[in-house]
Amino acid sequence: MDSLKAFFREKGLYLICLGLVLAATVTSIWAIRNVVRGVEELGNTTQEGTTWNQPDAAVNNPASDVPQSTPKPSEAPSASSSSSGASSQSAAVQGGSGGSAASSAPSASSFTAPVDGEIALAFSGDDLVYSRTLGDWRTHNGVDYACKTGDGVRASASGTVSAVYSDALWGSVVEVTDGSGNVWKYCGVSEPTVETGDKVKAGDGIGRAGSIPSESADGVHIHLECLQGDTWVDPAKALAG
């Protein structure tokens, strides 16, 4: 017993220190395990609670400003609804175009279509149409009248032949200036039978239907434009009065 007491007197301080170290070690291990467990629980909670709620990119929404190709009219006078009645005046009269042309153009009875064919492509105004020949989008500043190669082409309005020339894009062109100052351009007229300065009346022959390089993919036709000053107007409405 005395030896045990002596041992504790001599080693007691060391035993106490060792006990404190063991206690501190156990406490540290317990604290570390709690921290690790808390981190794991926090990670699991974050993963379970996080959801990607951002909407998908609008890849399925097509652009709204892409121009659409102008469909071909089913009947010759159908370039616009206002021109459909023109056929009662003449089988050659066609309809459709800009509203400003009617005020300055002569009466409908003094006009005729350049050929007897139907309207293949109407005047587009400010709208873009796809050119199958040139492969791009552009305005169509005239009216295309379908016909056959060699068909006779006639003047749509009385006036004076102001130009006859060949153009790389429009083929052979005849221009006639009417009494109101409107310039009528007939594109695709081969073998012109008129010269600059000639007087023509509506219905007079001016040549035969040929080809138009810039619209070759659209078949044989006459491309008719009407210029009021520097502004293109719909010749079909001018034709209809």
Q: Which of 215, 167, 158 is nearest to 192 (CA)?
A: 167
Residues 31 and 97 in one domain: no
Question: Same domain, yes or no, for 148 and 198?
Answer: yes
pLDDT at 96 over 60: no
Q: 3 lies in which domain range? A: 1-44
Q: Is residue 188 part of a domain?
A: yes
Condensed to tens digits (0 to 9), the pLDDT of residues 134-185 reads: 999 999 999 999 999 999 999 999 999 999 999 999 999 999 999 999 999 9
In this structure, the strands spanning 189-190 and 136-139 are: unpaired
pLDDT of residue 24: 79
Does residue 62 lie in a domain region?
Answer: no
> Does 187 lie in the same domain as 116?
yes
**pLDDT tens figures, 51-72:** 434 444 333 444 444 344 444 4
Q: Which long-range contacts (CB under 8 A, 24 or more apart) does 197-202 make?
A: 197/160, 197/161, 198/160, 198/161, 199/158, 199/159, 199/160, 199/161, 200/155, 200/158, 200/159, 200/160, 200/161, 200/176, 201/155, 201/158, 202/110, 202/111, 202/112, 202/154, 202/155, 202/156, 202/157, 202/158
- Average pLDDT, whole number, for the chain? 75
Based on the fold, state whether residues 98 and 200 are members of the same structural domain: yes
Average pLDDT over residues 83-87: 34
Question: Is the Cα torsion angle 204, 208, 209, 213 positive or negative in sign?
Answer: negative
Same domain (yes/no): 182, 115:
yes
The reply to whether 63 falls in a domain is: no
Say yes or no: 94 and 166 in one domain.
yes
115 and 230 housed in the same domain: yes
Q: Does any domain span residue 103?
A: yes
Task: Assess if residue 139 is contained within a domain.
Answer: yes
- The total of structural domains in the chain comes to 2
Residues 25, 105, single domain; the answer is: no
34 with 97, same domain: the answer is no
- pTM to 2 decimals? 0.55
Q: CA 99 to CA 79: how far, in whole Å? A: 13
In a domain, 52, yes or no: no
Same domain, 89 and 181: yes
| pLDDT of 227 above 70 | yes
Best mean pLDDT range from 26-30, 90-94, 98-102 = 26-30
CA dist 103 to 168, 185, 239, Å? 33, 20, 12
223 and 173 in a single domain? The answer is yes
pLDDT of residue 90: 34
Q: Are residues 113 and 209 in the same domain?
A: yes
